Amino acid sequence: EPEVTQTPSHQVTQMGQEVILRCVPISNHLYFYWYRQILGQKVEFLVSFYNNEISEKSEIFDDQFSVERPDGSNFTLKIRSTKLEDSAMYFCASSTSVYEQYFGPGTRLTVT
Amino acid sequence: SQKIEQNSEALNIQEGKTATLTCNYTNYSPAYLQWYRQDPGRGPVFLLLIRENEKEKRKERLKVTFDTTLKQSLFHITASQPADSATYLCALVKTGTASKLTFGTGTRLQVTL
């Protein structure tokens, strides 16, 4: 069964450094998303992407964040200058329509 | 302010019984509501979707109800099994927002033998 994959599974970075989290969505999906989950808290929407542009973003998704689909398969989330409070599990998701979303296993980001 | 509330206390039930989980929301006009399962350290897994004009949806041992008057959804697992132990998340999509899922905090279900 096709699935969303994410790399790396765990990323440790120092405050102020840039990180890029990578995702390979399911191949025939058209909608792509990033969510995050701080330990012990709820899953929070960051951004959705369709037709090569951002379709929605949350207040969390400020100028420090950007997304890109550099080729036909990858979908990336870049955090330009990480802060301690960016430490969280980041989930990529994809869907064929605006309905059910398929989530990847997540990247645990630790900012020290 | 907008809120999605799920029972934060864990639900412990015996194998074979029906588990019922609740999702209440305020100050929302959801177009549809989804239920996901999340295991520790893993991403959410889609289970069921119900639209605002639907009262009930079923899939195998799962049943979801949606009452837009009470602003509540109930999620039932019949004949529960230890493998059903996980955190169950309710997620809403508002009318007019095409794709953004807003999640509740989830309810942890523990099914014991």
Condensed to tens digits (0 to 9), the pLDDT of residues B4-19 reads 999 878 999 999 999 9
B44-59 mean pLDDT: 94
Minimal-distance CA residue of chain B relative to A30:
B99
* Fold adopted by A5-97: Immunoglobulin-like (2.60.40)
Smallest CA–CA distance, residue A107 to chain B, in Å, is 10
Burial of A33 by CB count in 10 Å (0-12 exposed, 13-18 middle, 19+ buried)? buried
Confidence of residue B93 (pLDDT cuts 50, 70, 90): confident
Contacts of B44 in chain A (CB under 8 A): 43, 91, 103
In A8-52 the beta strands, taken as DSSP E runs, fall at 10-13, 19-24, 31-37, 43-50
Average pLDDT over chain A reads: 94
Smallest CA–CA distance, residue B100 to chain A, in Å, is 7
List all residues 6 or more positions away from B26 whose beta carbon is below 8 Å from its beta carbon. Answer: B2, B3, B5, B71
Condensed to tens digits (0 to 9), the pLDDT of residues A32-58 reads 999 999 998 999 999 999 888 999 999
Condensed to tens digits (0 to 9), the pLDDT of residues A89-104 reads 999 999 988 788 999 9
**B3-104: which CATH number, 3.40.109.10, 3.30.70.2610, 3.30.559.10, 2.60.40.10?**
2.60.40.10
Q: What is the pLDDT of residue A71?
A: 86
Determine which helix (DSSP H) or strand (DSSP E) holds B57, and give its type and residue range: strand B56-59
Per-residue pLDDT at B89 exceeds 70? yes
In the chain, the amino acid numbered B14 is Q
Domain positions in chain B = 3-104
Strand B107-112 to strand A107-111: parallel, antiparallel, or no bridges (unpaired)? unpaired
Minimal-distance CA residue of chain B relative to A91:
B43
Hey, is the C-beta of A44 within 8 angstroms of any chain B C-beta? Answer: yes
* First-residue to last-residue Cα distance in chain B: 41
Contacts of A102 in chain B (CB under 8 A): 46
Per-residue pLDDT at B110 exceeds 80? yes
Contacts of A106 in chain B (CB under 8 A): 41-43
